[in-house]
Amino acid sequence: MARKFLYLVAILLVLFIAGRIAYEMFQDELAEIALVPTSEFTPTTPMRANAYQDPELWYSRPGIGIEDPARWQPAIAGEQFDPDSEELGVAGEVPDFAVFFVHPTSYLNRDNWNAPMGDEEAERIARVYVRGMASPFNAASEIWAPRYRQATMGAFLTDAPEGEQAIDAAYADVREAYRYFIDSVDADTPVVLAGHSQGALHLLRLLREEVRGSPVADRLVAAYAIGWPISVDHDLPELGFPACATPEQTACIISWSSFAEPADPSRLIEAYAASPAFDGKLRGDSRILCTNPLTGTFDGEAEASSNLGTLVPDDSISTGELVPGSVPARCDERGLLLIGDPPELGSYVLPGNNYHVYDIPLFWANTKADVARRVTAFPGSSN
């Protein structure tokens, strides 16, 4: 019996190793099989005029109250968070400003190319994302985070035209929400635009098509397009705004993509290099925009002691607490943000030590301080 048991263990071990090797060799193909829809793309019906007047189309907006996920405040290592804490670099009253936040992909289903409004699981995950990623911006007088018919995860894993059509359809919703946001806030209020991953991609398109050259450009404090690689040479010139070079600079763009070490960003780099930039050329080996969130500067390096607070989630990632001094940050020669040894944040780390899901939580308190600093430095800001 013992020998049979050992044989069984050996067979299971071989199957595990073989499966692991197959996964490492073919994970892109397996992800495509699991996530890319096989159905034809069905065009989404455009939002009716002023559809975003409906409060139900917003996760966050003025008037929602304590149920607004973006207004959540974490504790600091077991103590209640003080939004005016000098320890977190946010001391003093921050001038009024409004935030438009676009959440990342929360729809993983392959039944549709775009998430249907009201999909229960996608809505639940989106609220978690807004809670963890929009909350660093909650010193704002107004936060607006729309629901939209986001492209499913598989749309980003295929070269099929349906993928691009799904992304375009998602952007159309975001654009309508943005226009309602701009019409709703006071014309003199400074504006912060923020998004992560798919949300950052839509945000970059907004900058090119809606913000650049418009009156809003004069009100833009900063655009936080985090978790989407931006080419310094090929993308930035087309966006109409420079990279943020100093901690107090305004009317500029902030972006980073986080990897622990040893980092294997080969899949990201390969996809980035082969993708067309906003100027129509391939991004190739051009440098990726890397804002160091610990210094607020283009490139740079900072020790973990400069980290005012990493949002460490619980197992459900629906809540968490701030842990100061836990993660350093260094922009490497490619433009990736390296964060040292892998921190224990949960089970959503991607292959290659890619901390994409945690881009903002890694630097929650520094992001909050960065926004407050730039808003305070913004020309014409007043309390």
Q: For the chain, how many structural domains are there in total?
A: 1
Give pLDDT, residue 14.
Answer: 36
Q: How far apart are CA 124 and CA 143, in angstroms?
A: 19
Is pLDDT of 121 > 90? yes
Give pLDDT, residue 104.
Answer: 97
pLDDT bin (cut points 50, 70, 90) of residue 23 is very low
Which residues fall within 8 angstroms of residue 287, CB to CB, at 6 or more apart? 231, 232, 233, 333, 334, 335
Give pLDDT, residue 33.
Answer: 54
Looking up tokens 């295929």 gives 158
**Interior/surface letters 167-194, b for 16+ CB within 10 angstroms, e for the rest:** bebbbbbbbbbbebbbeebeeeebbbbb
Please report whether residue 306 resides in a domain: yes
pLDDT bin (cut points 50, 70, 90) of residue 93 is confident
Model confidence pLDDT, tens digit, residues 179-197 = 999 999 999 999 999 999 9
Strand bridging mode 320-323 / 310-313: antiparallel
Give pLDDT, residue 319.
Answer: 79
Choice among 71-85, 170-184, 289-303, 344-358 with the minimum mean pLDDT: 71-85
Tell me the pLDDT of the chain averaged across its residues: 88
Average pLDDT over residues 35-63: 91
| Token pair for 252 | 């500029």
Choice among 21-30, 151-160, 230-239 with the minimum mean pLDDT: 21-30
Q: How far apart are CA 215 and CA 186, in angstroms?
A: 13
Judge whether 52 and 177 are in contact, CB under 8 Å: yes
Please report whether residue 17 resides in a domain: no
Is pLDDT of 21 > 70? no
Give pLDDT, residue 39.
Answer: 83
pLDDT over 90 percentage in the chain: 77
Is pLDDT of 241 > 80? yes
Give pLDDT, residue 28.
Answer: 52
Please report whether residue 5 resides in a domain: no
Tell me which amino acid residue 257 is. Answer: S
Q: What is the 3-state secondary structure (H, E, C) of the chain?
A: CHHHHHHHHHHHHHHHHHHHHHHHHHHHHHHHHHHCCCCCCCCCCCCCCCHHHCHHHEEECCCCHHHCHHHCCCEECCECCCCCCHHHCCCCCCCCCEEEEECCCCCCCCCCCECCCCCHHHHHHHHHHHHHHHHHHCCCCEEEEECCCCECHHHHCCCCHHHHHHHHHHHHHHHHHHHHHHHHCCCCCCEEEEEECHHHHHHHHHHHHHHCCCHHHHHEEEEEEECCCCECCCCHHHHCCCECCCCCCCCEEECCCEECCCCCCHHHHHHHHCCECCCCCECCCCCECCEECCCCEEECEECHHHCCCEEEECCCCCCEEEECCCCCEEECCCCCEECCCCCCCCCCCECCCECHHHCCHHHHHHHHHHHHHHHHHCCCCCC
Give pLDDT, residue 8.
Answer: 37
Give the structural domain span for 79.
36-377
Choice among 5-9, 160-164, 363-367, 372-376 with the minimum mean pLDDT: 5-9
Choice among 18-32, 181-195, 297-311, 345-359 with the minimum mean pLDDT: 18-32
Total-model pTM: 0.89
Give pLDDT, residue 7.
Answer: 38
Give pLDDT, residue 13.
Answer: 35
Choice among 44-48, 196-200, 309-313 with the minimum mean pLDDT: 44-48
Give pLDDT, residue 82.
Answer: 52
**Interior/surface letters 24-33, b for 16+ CB within 10 angstroms, e for the rest:** eeeeeeeeee
Is pLDDT of 43 > 60? yes
Please report whether residue 383 resides in a domain: no
Judge whether 373 and 222 are in contact, CB under 8 Å: no
Please report whether residue 59 resides in a domain: yes
Average pLDDT over residues 349-378: 96
Give pLDDT, residue 22.
Answer: 36
Q: How far apart are CA 375 and CA 194, in angstroms?
A: 14
Which residues fall within 8 angstroms of residue 300, CB to CB, at 6 or more apart? 292, 330, 331
Model confidence pLDDT, tens digit, residues 329-345 = 999 999 999 999 999 99
Give pLDDT, residue 29.
Answer: 46
Which residues fall within 8 angstroms of residue 205, CB to CB, at 6 or more apart? 171
Give pLDDT, residue 83.
Answer: 47
- Check whether the bond before 136 is cis (ω within 30° of 0): no
Q: Say which residue, 62 or 21, is predicted with more confidence.
A: 62
Looking up tokens 């607004």 gives 68
Give pLDDT, residue 187.
Answer: 93
Give pLDDT, residue 152.
Answer: 95
